[in-house]
Amino acid sequence: MAQGPKECRVKCVLRAMDEAYARLLQSDSKSLLKKYLTQEMYNELKEKRTPTFGSTLLDCIQSGLMNLDSGIGIYAPDPEAYAVFAPLFDAIIQDYHLGFSPAQTHPPLEWGELTAFQNLDPENKYIISTRVRCGRSIEGYPFNPCMTEDHYKEIEQKMTNAFQGLGGELSGTYRPLTKMPKCEQERLIDDHYLFKEGDRFLKAAKACRFWPVGRGIFLNKDKTFLTWVNEEDHLRMISMEPGGDLGNVYRRMIEGVNAIQQQVNFSRSERFGFLTFCPTNLGTTIRASVHIKVPKLSADKEKMKSVAETHHLQVRGTRGEHTESEEGIYDISNKRRLGLTEFQALKEMQEGILEIIKIEQSL
Ligand code: ARG
């Protein structure tokens, strides 16, 4: 029987995916995608689709197929993808989040006692700045690859209204990218406030369509509380300041998140906690980090790596992931975000950073 144009297209896409997958298998990619997507699993998943948005395996793995230097290599095009492509997501999630197994569920939100957190570097010798961020998706909307241009605009409008409700220390202005001159964008990126444009990992995952529509940044007056709108996630709420006062940075983020939560509903899954586009961010979605200079320790790459691993920390370059260190400054944060509470994630980071400083002092 003759095939219609739709069947033809589906076949073409499948063939292209087969070829890209074969290239991944032959490559020396270190991605978790390559590690866990066996031929058998690939065959099992390759023709599945999510019920509501019809997302495919290719939508999940495209970024990792096109960027063989990915660390992870997959994104969930819509919330249902975590279930439909569970064999792949579960394996990658368990590896990245250091043991979160398919039988586990993420605990309920628990910010914990603020008094447990301190200034990690009271003499200002090592830590340049401290940052805590979390991501949120807004209920009723899919993730980037399935969003329409109107979805971007609606979310931005909702957030513009929500930001007007922020008072005191948190009050500030929302700046849409559509109205921000390029030079100003560049300055904000340089100062580590704003996200970069055209991340190739996100682009390949179809997360940059309609750019810059609906994208923007809210900044409070002191530039210590910010929110990214419609970058990788619908929302990234960020608290940051110079120095090592983790307790104060965390407090401000909690206040910001609580204030915004009064105006918009966040998507939460029974098993995965807060839902995000990338599986590395599920659960608490918390990344607590410092920009730190530890010249003696970082001169010994192997030692630095092993200390980070022992303390469940992740080391990135100065300008975030996929970048190199500049002037010996590293971005060090908690690695796992799923399967523990917000409080535990912060604690894990605090203990690790204190240990790193202690080791630096002993060298
Ligand atoms: N997809 C990229 C990779 O696999 C980034 C993964 C984690 N980072 C993120 N921003 N979600 O390397």
The domain 114-362 is classified under which CATH number: 3.20.20.370, 3.10.150.10, 3.40.50.2300, 3.30.590.10?
3.30.590.10
Question: What pLDDT band is residue 7 in, cutting at 50, 70 and 90?
Answer: confident
DSSP tag of 7: H
Q: How do the domains of the chain map onto residue ranges? A: 5-96, 114-362
295 has a pLDDT exceeding 90 = yes
pLDDT at 2: 63
Cβ of 63 less than 6 Å from ligand 1: yes
Residue 7 annotated to the active site: no
Per residue in 218-256, pLDDT (tens digit) is 999 999 999 999 999 999 999 999 999 999 999 999 999
60 has a pLDDT exceeding 90 = yes
Residue 321 annotated to the active site: yes
pLDDT at 1: 55
CA atoms within 13 A on the CB side of 299: 5
181 has a pLDDT exceeding 90 = yes
3 has a pLDDT exceeding 80 = no
Query: CA-CA distances (angstroms) from residue 27 to 17, 22, 64, 65, 82?
Result: 15, 9, 12, 10, 26
Per residue in 17-37, pLDDT (tens digit) is 999 999 999 999 999 999 999
Which of ligand 1's atoms lies nearest the C-alpha of 205? 1
Nearest CA, atom 11, ligand 1? 278
pTM for this prediction = 0.96
**pLDDT averaged over the chain?**
96
Q: What is the dihedral of CA 256, 258, 261, 267, to 10 degrees?
A: 100
Q: 321 C-alpha vs ligand 1 centroid, how far in Å?
A: 8
Provide CATH code, domain 5-96.
Answer: 1.10.135.10
Tokens of 302: 């192997």
CA atoms within 13 A on the CB side of 57: 24
Q: 32 C-alpha vs ligand 1 centroid, how far in Å?
A: 11
**How big is the chain by its Cα radius of gyration, in Å?**
21
Contacts of 56 (CB under 8 A, 6+ apart): 13, 48, 49
Residue 232 annotated to the active site: yes
